[in-house]
Amino acid sequence: MNLDALIEFFHGLSPESVARFPEFYSADAYFKDPFNEVHGVAAVQHIFAHMFEQVAEPRFIVGEKVVNDGGAMLIWTFNFRVTRWGKGEMQVIHGVSHLKFDASGKVNYHRDYWDAAEELYMKLPVLGMLMRGLRRALATPVAGVSP
């Protein structure tokens, strides 16, 4: 496992470099995030290729890593622009990737954890207003602090 090379791969991810996933992921790799669940490196590649069609200027920045014998956790931010929803302001999603590696050091398990409600839905014009209202309604009141 060359975790630093994998991190650099994600830092420099581009439509062209998506073809390099087999260098880092096993043929039967499993991937799951809030919107996708797939098996196979080709399916993982498709998800990331599709990302470049959906958003402008996508960029992953891994800020921290936690490693043990068989896996790693990467704490990251994902910056992107969504021009479909308005002015194309830079958006940021904070998340964590849980990775496991096979005997050859390739990723065979990749699970992304991030809060789609807070990081994405609350930023949408109409849905965001509803989500913020729901959040206020469900928040635990704290003396002296408003939600």
Q: DSSP of 47-106, one letter per residue?
A: HHHHHHHHSEEEEEEEEEEEE-SSEEEEEEEEEEE-GGGSS--EEEEEEEEEEEE-TTS-
Give the burial string for 51-76 (b: 16+ CB within 10 Å, else e): ebeebeebebebeebeeeeebbebeb
Per-residue confidence (pLDDT) for residue 89, from 0 to 100: 76
The pLDDT assigned to 83 comes to 67
**In the chain, where the domains are located:** 3-138
Closest CA relative to residue 114, chosen from 38, 36, 50: 36
> Taking all residues of the chain, what is their mean pLDDT, rounded to a whole number?
85
- Cα radius of gyration (the chain): 17
Residue 40 DSSP class = S
The CATH architecture that domain 3-138 belongs to is Roll (3.10)
pLDDT at 58 over 70: yes
pLDDT in tens, 103-117: 999 999 999 998 766
Helices (H) and strands (E) in the chain, counts: 5, 6
pTM for the whole structure: 0.79
- State the residue for tokens 């996708």: 36
